[in-house]
Amino acid sequence: MLNRSPRRPYLRLSFVSSCLILGSGIIFSSALAANSDRAHQKDFDRLDTEAARLINERKFDQARPFVDRAVKSTSNAGSSAERFVQSRIMLAQCLLHQDRYKEALTLLSGLEKKIQLSPKVEGPRLLTGQIHACRAQGLLLSGQAQAAMTEARRGLSLLESISQSEQKEQLIAGLSLLEARSLAQQKLFIDADIPFDQAITIFRQYPGHLDLDLADALRYRALAERMQGHDDRADDLYQQSDKIRDKASSPQLSAGRDSEVVYQWQASNPRSHEIIDSQFPFRYTLANNVRVGATVIDLWELIAVLMCVTNMDDHRKLVALGKASAFRIEPIVKGQALTRKTNSLEEVSHLRIDRVRREANIWDLTSTRPWLANLQKSRQYRGFVPKEGHDLFRGPNLFGVWGEWSGISHITPKGLGNETSRENVYLRYQDDDNRSDTGLIRQEAIRQTDMLPVYLEPYESRTGYLFYLAPRGENIEVDVTVGNTIFSFPFFVNKRRIF
C-alpha cells in the first residue's frame, strides 16, 4: 500500500485567492477602461460642441484647432464609429470652406459604411445626411453637377422618415439648395425652381447664424435668375441678400470676434462696379458705406495689386484693415461665374526688391488713368471736399505698402502753440469727457491681431499695394479683409505683356 501525502488545504486556499485576485484585477481594469471611455466621451463632446458652434457661426479659422483635436481623439481604436464620423465631417466642412474639395472627397469616402442605420435611431441618419451634403458640395466644386445632384437627392430621401427638428429642417434646406445649384449648373432652370423655393422657404424659418444661410440661398437663386435673363427678379434677390450681409458685416470687428462675411465681386450683382479698361480694370463694391476696390498691374515678372478702402459715410468711421492675399482660381463650369480657388500666389516682400523703382513703374503705366493716378497721391486735407476732381477719389488719402502706412492724413496746424491740442494726451487720462482727436490716438480697446485699426474721415481713403510673382495666362482672385468681411475681386493676367 502506497503512502499518500496528506492533503494540503493551504494549496487550495492559495489557488482560490489567486483566482479572486485575478478576478478583482479584471474588474479593476474594466472599471479603469470604463472611466477612461467616459473621460474620452466627455472630452470629445466638449470639442465637438465648440467646433460645431464655431462652424455654424462661420468662424472657420477658430474652429480648425478644435476640429483637429477632435480628429486626433477619435483616431484611437476604442473610439466609437459615430464620434469618428462626426469629427471627419467637421474636418471636411473646413476643407470645403477653403475650396480643397479633393481632400474633402477623399476624407468622406467610406465614411457611410461605418454607420449602422436603424429605423428607430435618428442620429445615424442625420450623420449620413451630413455626409451626403458635404459630398454633394465637394462634387459641385469639382464641376460634377450630375453626381452632386444624385448625392443631394440620396440625402433628402434618407431624411424623409426622421421626425421634425430644427437640425433636420436645416439639413433638408441645405441639401435642397445643393440640388438646385447642381441643376442650375446643368442649365435645367425649370427643374431647379422647386428645390430653390423649398430651400429658401425653410431658410426663412431657420436662417442660420446672422441669417447668412438665407443670404447665400438668395444669392445663388439670383445668379440662376440672371442666367435666364430675368433681370428684375435677380436684382430684387441680390438686394435682399446684400441687405442681410450688410447687417452681418462689421468693419470694426475681425472674423475671430464675429462671423466671416464674403462679398464676391460678380458682374451680375448690381453692387459690383467696374471702371472699364483694357489693361487695368478697376473693380469695386460697397458694404456698410465702406467702398473697397482693387486692380492688377502687370510688371512683367511681378504683378502689383493696388487696393483702396474708402469711407463713404458722412461721419468719421473706425475701420479695421486686415491682410490682403491673392489666389489662383478656375471656373467650376466653363462660361459660368462661379469659381474655385486652387492655390495662393507667392508674395514678394517689398524689402527684397527696389520698391521705389517699382512704384515709379506703376506710375508710368497708370498715370494716364485719372482714377488710378488719384489713388497714388497722398493728400492731407480733411472732411468734405468740393465736387471738382474725380468723383470716386476726392478726399484725403494715404498711399504706400498695404498695412505699413506712415503718418496720418490730417494736416498739422500751422501755429502749434496757439492751437488747442488735438491729441489731448494728458486730459484723456484725467477726464472721462475728453475731446481728443480719435484719428491721432489709437485706443487699446480696438487693437486686434493681424488687424490695423484706422479712423477714416468722410471720403478718406487708404490705398496700398503688394507684389506677387506673375502667373501668366491665369485667372486670379484678390481678397481684401476689412473687419469681418472679405471682399473678393477676380482678374485675369495676360499670357504675354501687351504694352
The pLDDT value given to residue 88: 94
At 453, give phi and psi (nearest 5°): -75, 130
Residue 65: band (very low, low, confident or very high) from pLDDT cuts 50, 70, 90: very high
Residue 459 pLDDT: 86
Question: CA 414 to CA 416: how far, in whole Å?
Answer: 6
Main-chain dihedrals φ then ψ at residue 314, nearest 5 degrees: -85, -5
Please, which pLDDT band fits residue 43 given cuts at 50, 70 and 90? confident
Nearest Cα residue to 177 out of 239, 163, 208, 58: 208
17 band by pLDDT with thresholds 50, 70 and 90: very low
- Range list of H helices, 296-429: 355-366, 370-375
State the DSSP string of 232-289.
Answer: HHHHHHHHHHHHHHHHH--SSS-TTTS--EEEE--TTSTT-EEE--SS--EEEEEETT
pLDDT at 78: 66
Integer Cα distance of 43 and 62 in angstroms: 18
Q: Rounded to whole angstroms, how far apart are CA atoms 111 and 128?
A: 9
Q: How confident is the model at residue 11 (pLDDT cuts 50, 70, 90)?
A: very low
Q: Give the pLDDT confidence of 464-496 residue by residue, as tens digits.
A: 999 999 999 999 999 999 999 999 999 999 987
Asked if 127 and 85 count as a contact pair (C-beta separation under 8 A), the reply is yes
Task: Please say if the pLDDT value at position 424 is more than 70.
Answer: no
Q: How confident is the prediction for the chain on average, in pLDDT?
A: 84
- Secondary structure E strands in 332-421: 339-344, 347-348, 397-401
Q: Backbone dihedral region of 210: left (phi > 0), alpha (psi from -120 to 50 degrees) or beta?
A: left
Write the CB contacts of 344 (distance below 8 Å, at least 6 apart in sequence).
Answer: 325, 326, 327, 328
**Lowest-confidence pick of 74-88, 281-295, 462-476:** 74-88
Mean pLDDT of 317-323: 90
Distance CA(113)–CA(105), nearest Å, equals 15
The answer on pLDDT for 328 being more than 90 is yes
- pLDDT at 240 (0 to 100): 96
pLDDT of residue 421: 57
Residue predicted with more confidence, 374 or 241: 241
What was the pLDDT predicted at 443?
54
- In this predicted structure, the answer to whether residue 417 has a pLDDT above a threshold of 90 is no
**What's the confidence (pLDDT) of residue 253?**
80
What does the block give as the cell for 349? 516682400
Cα(66)–Cα(44) distance, integer angstroms: 10
Q: How confident is the model at residue 238 (pLDDT cuts 50, 70, 90)?
A: very high
CA distances from 490 to 19, 43, 222, 305, 315 (A): 75, 43, 19, 12, 31
Give residue 401's identity as a one-letter amino acid code: V
Q: Which of 34-38, 160-164, 259-263 has the least mean pLDDT? A: 34-38
CA distance 359 to 367: 11
Can you tell me the mean pLDDT for 318-338? 88
pLDDT tens-place string over residues 341-371? 989 999 999 999 999 999 999 999 999 998 8
pLDDT interval class at 447 (50, 70, 90): low
CB 251 within 8 A of CB 483: yes
CB atoms within 10 A of CB 166: 9
pTM of the full structure:
0.85
Buried b or exposed e, range 336-357, using 16+ CB within 10 angstroms: ebbbbbeeebeebebeeeeeee
Is residue 74 within a helix (H) or strand (E), and if so which, with residue range?
none
| Phi/psi-derived region of residue 51, left when phi > 0, alpha when psi is between -120 and 50, beta in every other case | alpha
- 469 φ, ψ to 5°? -65, 135
pLDDT higher than 70, residue 437: no
C-alpha cell at 124: 445615424
Q: Between the CA of residue 47 and those of 50, 311, 406, what are the distances in Å?
A: 5, 40, 43
pLDDT digits (tens, 9 = 90+) for 96-135: 999 999 999 999 998 988 887 766 577 888 999 999 999 9
Residue 111 C-alpha cell reads as 465614411
Beta bridge partners, 276, equal none
Q: Which helix (H) or strand (E) holds 353?
A: none
Domains of the chain and CATH, by start: 29-249 (1.25.40.10), 273-493 (no CATH)
What whole-number distance in Å separates Cα of residue 215 and Cα of residue 485?
A: 14
For position 32, what pLDDT does the model report?
45
**Residue 69 near residue 90 (C-beta atoms within 8 A):** no
